[in-house]
Structure 1
Amino acid sequence: MKYLLVFSILFLAGSAYAQTPFRDTSGLTLNGIEWCEENYQLYTFIGNDFFEHHQHSIESRLCGNLYNDDLWPYSEHDRYQKLIEQSRMYYNLEIQESSDEAKTGIVDTKPVNMEEIPQEVAQQQKELEKSIAESESNEMDANVQETEVVNLEGGGCLIATATYGSEMAPQVQSLREIRDSQLMNTNSGASFMGGFNHWYYSFSPYIADMERESPAFKEMIKIGITPLLSSLSIMSYAESESEVAVYGIGVVLLNLGMYVAAPVMIVYKIKSIL
């Protein structure tokens, strides 16, 4: 009885504030589906921690259900509408599960459509290292291994997607094209992306969340990453292993100059004048 009373209070309170930018009173909105898409890469990297990261919100649980639904890979023109409809079914199931948990006192933190989150971080890194090692030792299997790595690394840039509003934005697609066509087609590039993604996804979800919450912060990030995106376009001219390495080092040095050396020199000049 106690649990039922607690559930009733929480349910009524939740219903009063049920409508958010990502969902309404029946399921996810279009913005919610796009939010799921933006977070899919993070989900595949951190597994169960994805839900804890989002404080086990109903939005994250609905995304988790959709990620494990056969409909998620669907790519026809009505994909968003079908996913929205599917999210409504899962929303009702989540409410029912919450009701059952209130009666039994047993709480299950996983979404209703899944028993175990696939592809934990360690498994991701293990598969990536194996793929790179095999491509180096067997040139005949290189194309196959590169395809596996591309699939493993698929997904958009969380910060750029949040900054420009969509994975289909030209800036985001440009980053994806450089990654898939230049970096992932070489052993050194694929190796770099493995280490980079491990570092990048340790902080990018928080930046992307802050951008969605603060338009002013979003504009600051847009201004800040514009020179970086422009410099990365140089990589589109790299066509071989050696060129990827040379251009890559050049891009790194260029950005160190723009983001580190130049500000330090400006501060030094200002101090010397004062």
Structure 2
Amino acid sequence: MKKKKSWKYKLLVSSAFLLVILAVGFFVFVSSYYKAQTYAQESLQSDSGVTVKDQKELVFEPVSNAENIGFIFYQGAKVDAAAYAPMAKEIAKQGYKVIIPHLPFRLAIFSPDRADKVIRNHPEIDAWVIGGHSLGGVMASDYASRHEKIKGLVLLASYPQDTVDLSVAPVQVLSIWGSNDRVADIETIQAAKAVMPADAKFIEIEGGNHAGFGDYGPQKGDGKASVPNKEQTEQTSDAIVELLDGLQ
């Protein structure tokens, strides 16, 4: 006569099976992501004004007249880091080194302190600004609230977590969103003024949408942009450069 399996054995088998299902589901989830499109791919090429390097991080370095202020940028959830190359290159053209780390699974939540490594890798930079798009901005806000080396914060269609209060932090803040964004909660973005420094700058790009801050195609649930992607990128880059210039 066969012995009945113990309840501990059955529980162990069931737990193992559940873990396998969860792991498979997670990898299916992260394997589908928004890829960099043509405009972004073109911006990955070095030229006479900007040198682009793509290794463990995307680095956009001015060829000449480089400033001692760097900009670290965290990608949006499940978005290829290269999708933000157009914005990064425009900023680098104005003399500022821009670094976009390749985050694990393209999710900033798995490496919120990745900026630590960026800062260590670039000792030539004296002051840093950090920013991010959507979920990337949430993690960038948290990082800025905990690190005195960060002098500026840029939020693109994003806002801090409930636990973050930057109202008395010595940091310059810039928050930008598109009026046609249907992914981020615009009311929450605007309400974040309550936890920002009094001089924080909030800008709405008329006709812009959520995906327009990068070049990765339409995003599920997003509104339709009524301005070209390049125009939204240029407006965003100009505003970020203005913040960086103000830190000189």
Same fold at TM > 0.5: no
TM-score by length of 2: 0.28
TM-score by length of 1: 0.26
Larger radius of gyration: 1
More helix by share: 1
